[in-house]
Amino acid sequence: MNDHDGNCVDLLNTNPVNQMAEFQIVCRTSDIAVGEAKCFKVNGKMIGVYHLQEGYYAIDDPCPHAGASLVRGRLAEDVIHCRIHYWGFGVKDGLCRERNIPQHNLQTYDVRVQGDEVFIRTDSS
């Protein structure tokens, strides 16, 4: 069974909000408590959205080393640790804390909060 099965909310059938055309709504602010994270499938990508004290951050959810869902790991301040091999990744910058190998770094995504809704941008524009 895929580690992400049933773990990510699939947003495939939703549309971007008109006034923020490049951003996609993923959840409400009340859906993710401070210190928590959830996975959302947006445009075919599994993205972990993290609510830290400073705000919301979004990075690729699959661990590049083991493929496990990172939101199911342990969050320590701004580093998420994979539950399989405990590799750590920066939630704010996507950098792998265990290895200095660029291909192990995670993609980060722009996040905006408007009212009580959390939006992310998955394109690079």
For 13-46, the pLDDT digits (tens) are 454 444 455 899 999 999 999 999 999 999 889 9
This prediction's pTM: 0.84
Name the 3-class secondary structure at 18.
helix
Q: Are 111 and 49 in contact (CB under 8 A)?
A: yes
Where do the domains of the chain lie? 8-121
Range 8-121 has CATH code 2.102.10.10: yes
Radius of gyration of the chain (CA): 14
Nearest of 74, 70, 30 to residue 51 by alpha carbon = 30
- Cβ atoms of 91 and 79 within 8 Å: the answer is yes
Q: What is the pLDDT of residues 77-125, one digit of tens each?
A: 999 999 999 999 999 999 999 877 888 999 999 999 999 999 999 876 4
